[in-house]
Chains A and B, each alone.
Chain A
Amino acid sequence: MAVETQVSSSEENGRPALDWQAIGRELFFTALVAFGLTFVLVGMQTADRGGELIIIPRFTDVVYAIVMLTLGRFGYIMLRYRRASFVLIASLAAFGLSFVLPFPSLFLETMCMVGGLLIALMAVVTLIRHRPGIDMRERDRAMDRAAARFQELSRFIGPILVVFAIILPFLPFMDRQYIDIATLLLMYIMLGWGLNIIVGLAGLLDLGYVAFYAIGAYSYALLAVSFDLSFWVCLPLAGVLAALGGYLLGFPVLRLRGDYFAIVTLGFGEIVRIILLNWYQFTGGPDGIGGIPRPSFFGIAEFLPASRDGITFAELFGIDFDPMHRLIFLYFLILALALLVNMVSLRLRKLPLGRAWEALREDDIASQSLGINRTNIKLAAFTISAAFGGFAGSFFATRQGFISPESFTFLESAIILAIVVLGGMGSQLGVVIATILLIGLPEVFRELEQYRMLAFGAGMVLIMLWRPRGLLAHRDPSILLHGRKGPGADRIEAEQKAAEATR
């Protein structure tokens, strides 16, 4: 604040004069904070050396971190004084140096690179706009508009993405690892879309979605292993059983609201996991269930090098056996399931049921006054969403071939919820983007090792700071009186601006 006032008081060629004393003070405090933050956390590494815990000092890292942070702050201050071209050159130099300098760790090197780029970006913005940065509300509005436009485009982006997903496995660079990642991503996208019905549309904070996922997985595993039923029989059964679970949970829970509701669903998720863990005779407890049959090619052919009874997929099409066939089949299976979930939820949004969900989210008292039976509507949300979770669960079981309660911890629920919330509640495309960010990037950056989760956390904090209502928070109307080109289409933006101006 002190700096700000001095900036306006003394001007020199339209740029404020440098107040070295204030700058020095600010840099000193930055360095002090950086020291406090890094001295213990970065500077001391504990290691296990022959059964005894020792501390390895890493003070060079600390020095690097402090110098980098202080320099970064200096660039930031200089931007405030509108020395943008200087900052631009310096930050680009820092970016370039990050490749040359001998950094003690990969993480610091990445930080230097990213930091240099970020400050350079801020300098460019300052140069263009002739004032430091852009203010918060302006940025929010610009981002809202961009998100709204993107959402508008989603009518085209959606089909393009689907086509891309279909040809993806046949692209030349796709190997086993990429197919696996793509399948994993689709699983989370499907779970996100399923949870989106409860959280995004009906506005109920469900912290125990993984329970339905677990019920689906165990239903499939137990039915397939004990009764030797095929995947295609078990899939709908698993969905039905999970839906039943959702219905049963629904009854006691739906009288609750807000925080209490969230806590009970959290409890339900844990109860299911603990039952799976302790009912040894039935579920195998912590040993899990192994040898879960893999899906066949619609019950016609098996994905095996040779089959004892029946034909193999390779024989059916007269091609050579390749283990990739099954992976690609699994990929298409989850793609079809995910698209099914997407289609059903998009349809539901335009039906009275979907509108009633959204009405409940907006104002449940008003919904009741319009004759909407809140209990039935919420139960429907739970049941449908749970069935989708169950489908995803049985796919998980058949893909892994082995399941144990460890796969269904609260962390799983939290990640699925994070996908829905970060994507923008109720937005289908938002779920896809959030999944790629939250699941895809950590998979790709496995080299970062333990810093992977740190980057995950930092990414989440950043998104929440910049887009507190999620990446794509724009809501697409479920029905339009005047059509897409009607007076509503463009005026929605104008109206929003007007509303914000009066706020």
Chain B
Amino acid sequence: MSALQKTPLLEVQHLTMRFGGLVAIDDVSFAANNREITAIIGPNGAGKTTLFNCLTGFYKPTVGCLKLTRDNEDYLLERMPGHDITKHARVARTFQNIRLFSRMTVLENLLVAQHNKLQRASAFTLAGLLGLPAYKHVEQSAVDLARFWLDRINLTARADFEAGNLPYGDQRRLEIARAMCTEPALLCLDEPAAGLNPRESAALNDLLLDIREEIGIGILLIEHDMSVVMRISDHVVVLDYGRKIADGEPEAVRNDPEVIKAYLGEEDTEELPDVIKQDVEAAAKEEN
């Protein structure tokens, strides 16, 4: 529980990412707070996942500054190698297409997430190789942390199963638990509700709200499911074709004409073929 009030956690300034001639992200700036769920929404290809990849070091941004503030210390993410972003700045992420270590067990997945802590405790393998008690102790505490998250996601009974054999919904939750086991300051979730049934989706909402309240970290969320976004997010950023078109409270964003245009298409129907134009006009008349 670092701070009870909301403090700025992540500041994205003038982020631009170009792949050759393609501009995936064009001069995007926004900020995300501690103890807040910030949703990033937008149509397909808007650059949401690219933004995540820049944040977590998989891409180096062409222009821009990504500043993370943790414990009164600033980390410039764009200058750090990918693994250090998780290790020092403590940004953890999940993936759009689940990336578990599928032939390892559920528990092993959660222990790999605590690699840096354990590696240090095992004196870079030497103490561990000799089986020193100091290492055993730290390993037990790592298992305890894993168990804490297993209890949270109701997977304790299946801790010794191969992760790849779990049902889809369990795999999604396990991936979140794995990210949480890195003890992050900022958790980036790439479409966590994709493919979940309504009940699983509701359970996920509760899990995310709990993480926000109890662990007190910031969550960055890419999501297509508007019901999830509207229900749990404190702050919404809307991207379209790599540009930021709206930023604010969920209610305000929902009624933003720019956002409606991005999602439902242009209101002006000039370029549409005649048949469709007639349909659209008929629909408009009916509404009136």
Partner of A348, one of B93, B115, B125: B125
Q: A486 to B86, alpha carbons, bound, how many Å?
A: 33
Q: Is the CB of B162 within 8 A of A495?
A: yes
Interface residues on B, range: 35 or more
State whether A481 and B160 are in contact (beta carbons under 8 Å apart), knowing that A363-B100, A365-B58, A369-B93 are contacts in the complex.
yes
Q: A345 to B95, alpha carbons, bound, how many Å?
A: 31
Q: A481 to B95, alpha carbons, bound, how many Å?
A: 26
Residue of B nearest to A370 (CB): B113
Q: A492 to B247, alpha carbons, bound, how many Å?
A: 47
Q: Is the CB of B87 within 8 A of A362?
A: no
For chain A, residues 356 to 412, give those with C-beta under 8 angstroms from any C-beta of chain B: 356, 358-359, 362-363, 365-374, 380
For chain B, residues 73 to 125, give those with C-beta under 8 angstroms from any C-beta of chain A: 82-87, 92-93, 95, 99-105, 107-108, 111-116, 118-119, 122, 124-125
State whether A365 and B99 are in contact (beta carbons under 8 Å apart), knowing that A352-B122, A352-B128 are contacts in the complex.
yes
Q: Is the CB of B178 within 8 A of A370?
A: yes
Q: Is the CB of A371 within 8 A of B165?
A: no
Q: Is the CB of B160 within 8 A of A488?
A: yes
A346: shortest Cβ distance to chain B, in Å? Answer: 11
State whether A353 and B92 are in contact (beta carbons under 8 Å apart), knowing that A359-B101, A477-B105, A495-B162 are contacts in the complex.
no
B38 on interface, CB distance cutoff 8 Å = no
What is the 8 Å Cβ interface bit string for chain B, positions 130-161, against chain A (1 contact, 0 not)? 01000000000001001100100000111111
A89: shortest Cβ distance to chain B, in Å? Answer: 45
Q: A370 to B56, alpha carbons, bound, how many Å?
A: 10
Residue of B nearest to A373 (CB): B83
Q: A380 to B126, alpha carbons, bound, how many Å?
A: 12
Q: Is the CB of A371 within 8 A of B58?
A: no
Q: A358 to B103, alpha carbons, bound, how many Å?
A: 9
For chain B, residues 21 to 59, give those with C-beta under 8 angstroms from any C-beta of chain A: 56-58
Q: Is the CB of A479 within 8 A of B161?
A: no
State whether A353 and B160 are in contact (beta carbons under 8 Å apart), knowing that A362-B101, A481-B107 are contacts in the complex.
no
A351 on interface, CB distance cutoff 8 Å = yes
Q: Is the CB of A479 within 8 A of B125?
A: no
Q: Is the CB of A486 within 8 A of B119?
A: no
Q: A478 to B111, alpha carbons, bound, how many Å?
A: 11
State whether A363 and B101 are in contact (beta carbons under 8 Å apart), knowing that A372-B112, A477-B108 are contacts in the complex.
yes
Q: A482 to B105, alpha carbons, bound, how many Å?
A: 12
Q: A488 to B82, alpha carbons, bound, how many Å?
A: 34
Q: Is the CB of B86 within 8 A of A370?
A: yes
Q: Is the CB of B162 within 8 A of A492?
A: yes
A258 on interface, CB distance cutoff 8 Å = no
B173: shortest Cβ distance to chain A, in Å? Answer: 16
Partner of A369, one of B86, B111, B150: B86
A149 on interface, CB distance cutoff 8 Å = no
A251: shortest Cβ distance to chain B, in Å? Answer: 16
Residue of B nearest to A496 (CB): B165
Chain B neighbourhood of A373, CB < 8 A: 83-84, 87
Chain A neighbourhood of B179, CB < 8 A: 369-370
Chain A neighbourhood of B146, CB < 8 A: 481
- Residue of B57, B95, B99, B101 most packed against chain A (CB within 10 A): B101
B182 on interface, CB distance cutoff 8 Å = yes
Q: Is the CB of A477 within 8 A of B128?
A: no
Residue of B nearest to A356 (CB): B115
Q: Is the CB of A488 within 8 A of B158?
A: yes
B153: shortest Cβ distance to chain A, in Å? Answer: 14
Q: Is the CB of A478 within 8 A of B92?
A: no
Q: Is the CB of A371 within 8 A of B87?
A: yes
Q: A482 to B143, alpha carbons, bound, how many Å?
A: 12
Residue of A nearest to B184 (CB): A371
Residue of A nearest to B159 (CB): A481
Chain A neighbourhood of B128, CB < 8 A: 347, 351-353
Chain A neighbourhood of B57, CB < 8 A: 368
B129 on interface, CB distance cutoff 8 Å = yes
Residue of B nearest to A363 (CB): B99
Q: A251 to B103, alpha carbons, bound, how many Å?
A: 28
- Residue of A348, A362, A363, A482 most packed against chain B (CB within 10 A): A362
Residue of A nearest to B138 (CB): A352
Partner of B182, one of A371, A482, A499: A371
State whether A488 and B115 are in contact (beta carbons under 8 Å apart), knowing that A370-B178, A481-B143 are contacts in the complex.
no
For chain B, residues 160 to 217, give those with C-beta under 8 angstroms from any C-beta of chain A: 160-162, 164-165, 178-179, 182
A246: shortest Cβ distance to chain B, in Å? Answer: 16
Chain A neighbourhood of B107, CB < 8 A: 477, 479-481
Q: A447 to B277, alpha carbons, bound, how many Å?
A: 86
A142 on interface, CB distance cutoff 8 Å = no
Residue of A nearest to B164 (CB): A499
Q: Is the CB of A362 within 8 A of B104?
A: yes
Chain A neighbourhood of B178, CB < 8 A: 370
Chain A neighbourhood of B115, CB < 8 A: 352, 355-356, 359, 370-372
Partner of A366, one of B95, B116, B164: B95
State whether A369 and B101 are in contact (beta carbons under 8 Å apart), knowing that A351-B125, A488-B158 are contacts in the complex.
no
State whether A488 and B161 are in contact (beta carbons under 8 Å apart), knowing that A365-B58, A367-B112, A370-B92 are contacts in the complex.
yes
State whether A477 and B160 are in contact (beta carbons under 8 Å apart), knowing that A348-B125, A351-B125 are contacts in the complex.
yes
B57: shortest Cβ distance to chain A, in Å? Answer: 8
Chain A neighbourhood of B158, CB < 8 A: 488, 491
Q: Is the CB of A366 within 8 A of B101?
A: yes
A204: shortest Cβ distance to chain B, in Å? Answer: 16
Q: A496 to B160, alpha carbons, bound, how many Å?
A: 13
A233 on interface, CB distance cutoff 8 Å = no
A344 on interface, CB distance cutoff 8 Å = yes
Q: A344 to B99, alpha carbons, bound, how many Å?
A: 29
Chain A neighbourhood of B113, CB < 8 A: 370
Q: Is the CB of A372 within 8 A of B129?
A: no
State whether A362 and B160 are in contact (beta carbons under 8 Å apart), knowing that A356-B112, A478-B108 are contacts in the complex.
no
B95: shortest Cβ distance to chain A, in Å? Answer: 7
Q: Is the CB of B82 within 8 A of A355?
A: no
Q: Is the CB of A372 within 8 A of B83?
A: yes
Q: A373 to B115, alpha carbons, bound, how many Å?
A: 10
Chain B neighbourhood of A380, CB < 8 A: 125
A489 on interface, CB distance cutoff 8 Å = yes
Sample of 30 A–B contacts (CB below 8 Å): A344-B129, A351-B118, A352-B115, A352-B122, A352-B125, A352-B128, A356-B112, A356-B115, A358-B101, A359-B104, A363-B100, A366-B95, A366-B99, A366-B101, A369-B56, A369-B86, A370-B86, A370-B179, A477-B104, A477-B108, A479-B107, A481-B147, A481-B150, A481-B160, A487-B157, A487-B160, A488-B160, A492-B160, A495-B161, A496-B162
10 new A-B contacts at CB < 8 Å, known A351-B118, A363-B101, A498-B165: A344-B129, A352-B125, A362-B104, A370-B115, A371-B86, A479-B107, A480-B159, A481-B156, A489-B160, A492-B161
Listed from nearest, the 6 A-B pairs whose CB atoms lie closest are: A488-B160, A371-B86, A362-B101, A352-B118, A481-B159, A366-B99
